[in-house]
Structure 1
Amino acid sequence: MTVTSRQPGIPHPRLALPSTQAPEDLKAFQRWLNEAIPMVSQLGIQAMYQQDDGLEWQLALAPNLNDKGTGFGGALTAQATLLGWCWVTLWLRQQGLARDVVVAEASQRFLAPVTQDYRLRCQPSEVDGPQQLQKQLRERDKGRIQLTQQLYCGETLCLEASGNYAVLPQPPA
C-alpha cells in the first residue's frame, strides 16, 4: 500500500459516514486510518474487531521490537492511545457524527514483557461512559470519555493503559 504524502497543518479528508442501515466497514476504516495517520501502516495492525462495547486489534510484534527483542514501550503506548482514539471515532460514526477527537490525558503501566504477537483491547472505563458522552454532546456540543486499554500476549496481561478522550465542539458553520 502506498501512503499518500501528508503536509503539516492540512487536515486529511474525513471518511464518509456509514449508512445507518449498514455496520461500519472496519477494513475501509483501517485503510483510511493508514492514509490519515502515516505511522499507522508501520504499527503491525493485522486485524480490527468490534465486540460488545470494545474495539480490539490483533498486532504483530516484529515491527514493534526494542533492542531487547521485546515490545518497544513507545510503540505500545502509541498503539494504546490510537486504539482509544479509534474507539471514540467509530462510536461517533455509529451515532452519525463526524467530529474531531483528541486524547486529553493518557497513562500506562507495563506489567510484563511483550514477547509474541499480541492483542490490544479498548473499552469504556465506566459502563455508562457512552451514555454520559452522548448526554454531554447533546447538552454542550462537546464531551469526554475515559477508556481502558489492555494488551495481552496469549493470556498474560502485559500492559494496562487509560486515556481520557475529548470530542471537540462542532465548528461554526
Structure 2
Amino acid sequence: MAKTAEDAELLTQRILQEIPLADAMHFSIEQLNDHAIQARAPVADNVNVHGTGFAGSLYSVGALTAWALTTYMLEQTGHDADVVMAKAEIRYKKPVITDIVCQCELEAESREVFLKHLENRGRARLSLLVDIGEASEAMLSTTMMAIIK
C-alpha cells in the first residue's frame, strides 16, 4: 500500500474514533497527499426528507475534509498543533443526489505562508475552499486555525 493511501486510512480511522458524528456519517478519506484531499460520505446515510444530501452533512463532511487536510499537512511537516475551524461559510448551489464527495487543494504559496506564520507566532490561519458534491453542488469556504501545543 502506498504511504499516502496508508496515511489516508490511518487518518480516517482516527477521525472515526474521535468524532462520533463522522462514524455515523460513514466518512472516509479516499485520497490524501501534502496538498490535496478527497473525502466521501454515502448520501444514503446522510439523506434529508427530499431524498438528497442533508445540508448539515454536507457542511460536516466539508469541515472534516478541511480539518483533515490541515492536520495531515502539519503532521507531515513535523508541527504539533491543535487545529480548529475559526470560521466557515457554505454556499448550496443545488441538491446533492450522489455520494457526498469533498475535494480540497492547498496551494504551495498558501502552505508556505501558513507554516511560516505558525513557526514565527505559534499560531496561524489557513483559508481553504472545499468543493462539495460530484458536480460542485456546494462550496465551503473556511478558515482553519492552528495553534502550537
Aligned length: 146
How far apart, in 1, do the equivalents of 2:27 and 2:130 lie?
15
Deviations 1:50-95 (A, max 9, x none): 2572111132110110001001101110111111111110000101
| Cα pair 1:44 1:61 within 8 Å, conserved | no
| Cα pair 2:104 2:131 within 8 Å, conserved | yes
1:84 corresponds in structure 2 to 66
1:93 corresponds in structure 2 to 75
**Which protein shows a greater Rg?**
1
Question: As a proportion of its length, which structure holds more helix?
Answer: 2
1:37 aligned to 2:16? Answer: no
- Counting only pairs closer than 5 Å after superposition, residues 84-123 of structure 1 correspond to structure 2 as 84-123=66-105
1:141 aligned to 2:126? Answer: no
1:132 aligned to 2:113? Answer: yes
SS in 2 for 1:150: strand
Opposite residue 142 of structure 2, the aligned amino acid is G
Q: Unaligned stretches of 5+ in structure 2?
A: none
1:163 aligned to 2:145? Answer: no
- Counting only pairs closer than 5 Å after superposition, residues 60-71 of structure 1 correspond to structure 2 as 60-71=42-53
Opposite residue 163 of structure 1, the aligned amino acid is T
1:152 aligned to 2:141? Answer: no
TM-score by length of 1: 0.78
How far apart, in 1, do the equivalents of 2:83 and 2:12 lie?
17
- Quote the RMSD (CA, aligned, Å): 1.7
The Cα of 1:46 is off from its aligned counterpart by: 4.4
The Cα of 1:151 is off from its aligned counterpart by: 1.3
Residue 46 to residue 37, structure 1, CA distance change in 2 (3 Å): closer
Residue 122 to residue 167, structure 1, CA distance change in 2 (3 Å): same
Opposite residue 68 of structure 2, the aligned amino acid is C
| Cα pair 2:58 2:100 within 8 Å, conserved | no
How far apart, in 2, do the equivalents of 1:58 and 1:82 lie?
10
The Cα of 1:47 is off from its aligned counterpart by: 4.2
